[in-house]
Structure 1
């Protein structure tokens, strides 16, 4: 019922991303970046010296920097350090007390700490939409694309991508800016999203799409 220790594994390359079934194109005027559950509690599964953790955070930071340049809003999810048992409910059966036993690890990764103007949503279930203002953030900004990065690929990231689709928001799951408990689960999540509800792309392609579309005519991003 606790998070397993995760051995590092190689993140998928651009060539290993599943092919899209739909011709959606990521655009900075339509997108919101979601940095999903990048709290120390969840990242601790990888260990402080994990190459996988370092690669994940570098890719997420690269995405955030590109979004800053392109004027794309950045949203974070974070589980509360203290949860009433009624709020945690069935999560306890699968994952135990979670942050309830480690409230000091509730902070987001320091390298990706939210800035003024960013939005931090309280996370209650696998989907970032559940009991949060994510749908309102998208609607208020007139945006209908959600770029998803963070942990865990086959749990919250996948479920959030699916719910975005069900709300007529185009999800873009960044395959080398998410991580899971092992490569098999990681790849399964990418294939599932690409096959049913979204587009999977690598961080370099996402950055290129965001910054190229946002650059003024004649200016190379």
Structure 2
């Protein structure tokens, strides 16, 4: 129970992206950026100096800066520590009690600290849409595309992409701005999203379009 210790692995490259079923093209006027669960507790499972976390973090930083400059809203998810068992629900059966209410667990990595105008959503379940007002905040800003970054690709990030699709919000899964338990699970998440709910993309491709 609890999080594994994650061995380093290389991030996917542009040539390795699966071909999506969806025909959607990134439109900065319609997009929002999600930085998913980049808190100390979750990131501590990785070697901070190695791939996948180090380059994924650098790519999220680059993409967030470019999005802010382009007027694209930036959303964060973050869990609270010391969650009541009734609030944590079935997650406690799979992952244990979760994080403590201490800065080294709950703080978002300092390189990614939210800035004025960003939105920080309290995370309750795998999907960022569960028990949050993410969809409302996007809709009132005319946003129906979601760039998904963060951790873990095959759990909360994939669940968010699936739910975005079911809410008629087009997910873009930023392959080199995600990290996961292993390269195998990372690829599984990319393949599932490409087949069922969204478009895998690369950070530089998005930045070039901005």
Q: Please indicate the TM-score interval, normalised by the length of the shorter structure.
A: over 0.9
Partner of 1:152: 152
| Alpha-carbon distance in 2 for matches of 1:85, 1:101 | 14
- The answer as to 2:181 corresponding to 1:181 is yes
Q: Is the 8 A contact 1:175 1:201 kept in 2?
A: yes
| Alpha-carbon distance in 1 for matches of 2:71, 2:131 | 26
| Alpha-carbon distance in 1 for matches of 2:17, 2:102 | 35
How many residues are aligned here? Answer: 210
Structure with the greater alpha carbon radius of gyration: 1
Partner of 1:81: 81
- What is the CA-CA distance between 1:159 and the residue it aligns to? 0.4
TM, length-normalised to structure 2: 0.97
Unaligned runs of 5+ in 1: 212-221
- What is the CA-CA distance between 1:207 and the residue it aligns to? 1.4
Give the SS at the match of 1:108. Answer: coil
Unaligned runs of 5+ in 2: none
| Alpha-carbon distance in 2 for matches of 1:101, 1:121 | 16
| Alpha-carbon distance in 1 for matches of 2:29, 2:14 | 24
Partner of 2:196: 196
Q: Is the 8 A contact 1:81 1:103 kept in 2?
A: no
| Higher relative helix content | 1
| Alpha-carbon distance in 2 for matches of 1:149, 1:48 | 17
Give the SS at the match of 1:51. Answer: coil
Q: Is the 8 A contact 2:12 2:175 kept in 1?
A: yes
Give the CA RMSD over aligned residues.
1.2
- What is the CA-CA distance between 1:100 and the residue it aligns to? 3.3
Partner of 2:22: 22
Partner of 2:166: 166
Q: Is the 8 A contact 2:193 2:199 kept in 1?
A: yes
**Cα deviation per residue 1:171-194 (whole Å; 9 max; x = unaligned)?**
000011101000000000000000
Give the SS at the match of 2:100. Answer: helix
TM, length-normalised to structure 1: 0.92
- What is the CA-CA distance between 1:152 and the residue it aligns to? 0.2
Structure 1 segments of 4+ aligned residues over 3 angstroms from their partners:
100-104
Q: Is the 8 A contact 2:174 2:203 kept in 1?
A: yes
Partner of 2:64: 64
Partner of 1:2: 2
**Cα deviation per residue 1:40-81 (whole Å; 9 max; x = unaligned)?**
110000033333221111010111011012110000000012
| Alpha-carbon distance in 1 for matches of 2:170, 2:49 | 35
| Alpha-carbon distance in 1 for matches of 2:86, 2:100 | 13
- What is the CA-CA distance between 1:205 and the residue it aligns to? 1.1
- What is the CA-CA distance between 1:36 and the residue it aligns to? 0.3
